[in-house]
Structure 1
Amino acid sequence: MYKILANTVFLGKDIHFLTECHSTNDLAIQKIKKKELAEGSIIITDAQTRGRGQRGNRWWSEPGKNLTFSLVLTPYFLDPSEQFDLNVVVSLAVVQALSEYVYELKVKWPNDILHEQKGKIGGILIENILNQKGIEVSIVGIGLNINQHMTALPFSTSLADLTGREWDKWEIFKIIIQKIEKNYMLLKRGQKQQLRSLYLDKMYRFGMRATFNDGEIFQGKILGVGESGKLIIEKMDGSHNHYAFKEVKYL
C-alpha cells in the first residue's frame, strides 16, 4: 500500500510500514540512533498501541482506521530557539491538506488540529534532538482520525464523522506529505513570515475575545505566537501575557 512517493523531492522516498508498533516516534528515535533513517524517511503503522501526545499524553487510535506516522527532518538551518517554526510548517500543512475535504479546520495551539464546531481531529508531536551546532534531527509524529467514529470520546471527531463517508488513507497521506514538504522548503528559503501569516489565519480563536484559565479565569484575545512558540494573549486590562504549553487553558 505505502509506496515511494513520486510527487515529492525528498519526503517519502523511504517508507517503513508496520502493521503494529508501540509508537512511531519512539521507533524513529531508535532507528535514528542506529543511523537507519535519513531525512525524509517515514515510519507509518496501521495500529499504534502506545501513541504519545505532548508531555506524554496518550494518543489512542483504532487499528486500521486512521493515519499514524512519523517523519524525519534535519533542519540544521534553524536555531534551537526557532523550533516552533517546525510546528508552524507541519500543523499548517495538515490543515491545508484536510481542508481539501472539509471546511472549518483550525490549528489549536500548540499541537491540535480541530474542527471549530465538532472538536479535535488530530494532533502533532515534534521531538528534536539537539547537538552543539543546533537541531540535529526532528521527529515529526502525526496522528489523524480519518475513518474512526469518535462518538465515545468527547469533543473529538474524524474525517468520516464530518463528511459522512470513509476515505482512502493513502491518498490523504500523499497530500499531507506534499504539503509538509512545500512548507518546509519555504521555511528553508527564509519565508518564515509568510508561513506565520498563513498559520495565524488558520489559528483557533485568533483575534477573538474568549475565556481562558491561567490559574484564574479571564477574558482575553489571542494576538499570536512568539518566536519561541509561546502563546500571546491580551487580557482585558491591556496586558500582554506569554504562555508556555499547559500554562493556560482554553475554556
Structure 2
Amino acid sequence: MKIIKLDAIDSTNSFLKNLSLTSALENLTVVVTQKQSKGRGQQESSWISEPYKNLTFSVFISLNDVKIIHRRYLNFAISLSIYNVLFDKKISKLSIKWPNDILSANKKICGILIENSFFGDKIKSAIVGIGLNVNQEIFPNSLPNVTSLKLETKITSDLDVLLNDILIELQNNIKLLESKYFHLLEKQYLDVLYKKNIPTMFKNSKDEIFMGFISGVSDDGNLQIQLEDDSIAEFGIKEVSIL
C-alpha cells in the first residue's frame, strides 16, 4: 500500500487516473488531499468539502478475476467498507442509499465515485474516489441534507487513523469479492439499503411521481422498485429519485 499526500489538488480521481496512464501503480495506491477544488461525484456532480477537516481521497484497486457482469458486487464491497467503519464509530441510523451514498438518517455523510477499467470481459482495475465528511460542522445552505462524524458524535476524529481504518476494511471486502463471496456481499448490502421494503414516493426522469418500494439491485446494478401492481421496474443512476 502506497499513500501519496497532497496539500491541494483539483481532483484526486483525475490525478490518480493520469498517474495510472504513465506509471505502473502498486495495488491500493492512495492519493489523499487536504484541499480539493474540483471534487467529483456521480454523473459529473460536484463534491464540496471544507479544507483540512474532511477525508477526500482516491484508491487504485487492481482486481484479480472479477468479471464485468459482477461489477455490482464491487460497488457493494466498497460501499460496505465505509458503512462498516462508520458503524463502528456509532453513527446513528446508518444506511447505504443506492448506489453508494452513505447516510445518517436521511443526511449524506459520504459520497463514492467508482471508475472502472476493463480488459476483455473482466474489470482490470478501479479508481475509487471517496469524500467523507469528518470534522466539518458548518455546510453551505445549498447542502441542507448533509452531516459529518463531528456533528453526529461530537468527537473530533483523527483523519489519518480514519483513513487507515477504511483502507483495512476495503482490503478485507475486496478479498471477499475476489474470493467470489457474492451472496454474502449482496446480503450485507441489501440489509442496510436505504428505504428497502418501505413504501416510498419516487419521481422518475420524466417528473412522474409514483409509489413503490425498493426490492433490490439487478444484475446490471440498476435499482429495482416494486410498483403498486406488483411489477418490478428498474432504474439507472439519475433515472429516479426518492421524494
Matching of residues 24-39 of structure 1 within 5 Å: 24-39=12-27
Deviation string for 1:191-222 (max 9, x for gaps)?
A: 01101100111110111111111131111111
For structure 1, list consecutive stretches of 5 or more residues without a partner in the other structure.
Answer: 1-12
Is 1:217 matched with 2:202? no
Deviation at 1:151, TM superposition (A): 4.1
Corresponding residue of 2:161: 171
Tell me the C-alpha RMSD between the 2 structures. 1.2
Quick one: which amino acid aligns to residue 96 of structure 2? Answer: V
CA distance in 2, matches of 1:36, 1:131: 16
CA distance in 2, matches of 1:57, 1:195: 27
> Which SS does the other structure have where 2:35 is aligned?
coil
Is 1:197 matched with 2:187? yes
Corresponding residue of 2:226: 234
Corresponding residue of 2:151: 161
Corresponding residue of 1:111: 100
Q: Do the aligned residues in 2 keep the contact of 1:150 with 1:158 (CA within 8 Å)? A: no
> Which SS does the other structure have where 1:99 is aligned?
helix
Aligned residues: 238
Q: In structure 1, which of residues 127, 137, 156 is the aligned counterpart of residue 115 of structure 2?
A: 127
Quick one: which amino acid aligns to residue 86 of structure 1? Answer: L
Is 1:22 matched with 2:14? no
Corresponding residue of 1:95: 83
Quick one: which amino acid aligns to residue 34 of structure 2? Answer: D
Deviation string for 1:138-194 (max 9, x for gaps)?
A: 101100000011443210111111112311111211111111111110111110110
Q: In structure 2, which of residues 132, 135, 150 is the aligned counterpart of residue 147 of structure 1?
A: 135
> Which SS does the other structure have where 2:19 is aligned?
helix
Quick one: which amino acid aligns to residue 207 of structure 1? Answer: N
TM-score, structure 2 as length reference: 0.94
Is 1:208 matched with 2:198? yes
Deviation at 1:47, TM superposition (A): 0.7
Quick one: which amino acid aligns to residue 14 of structure 1? Answer: K
Matched-pair identity in %: 36
Q: Do the aligned residues in 2 keep the contact of 1:52 with 1:125 (CA within 8 Å)? A: yes
Corresponding residue of 1:10: none
Moved over 3 A (4+): none
Deviation string for 1:33-88 (max 9, x for gaps)?
A: 01242211111111111000011100011110000111111224122222221110
Quick one: which amino acid aligns to residue 196 of structure 1? Answer: E
CA distance in 2, matches of 1:238, 1:95: 31
> Which SS does the other structure have where 1:129 is aligned?
strand
Q: In structure 1, which of residues 161, 175, 182 is the aligned counterpart of residue 172 of structure 2?
A: 182
CA distance in 2, matches of 1:244, 1:30: 28
TM-score, structure 1 as length reference: 0.91
Deviation string for 1:66-111 (max 9, x for gaps)?
A: 0011111122412222222111001111011011111211110012
Matching of residues 10-89 of structure 1 within 5 Å: 13-89=1-77
CA distance in 1, matches of 2:194, 2:172: 23
Quick one: which amino acid aligns to residue 54 of structure 1? Answer: Q
Q: In structure 2, which of residues 222, 237, 241 is the aligned counterpart of residue 245 of structure 1?
A: 237
Q: When you count strand as a share of all residues, which structure comes out higher?
A: 2
Q: Do the aligned residues in 2 keep the contact of 1:145 with 1:159 (CA within 8 Å)? A: yes
Q: Do the aligned residues in 2 keep the contact of 1:150 with 1:156 (CA within 8 Å)? A: no
> Which SS does the other structure have where 2:9 is aligned?
coil
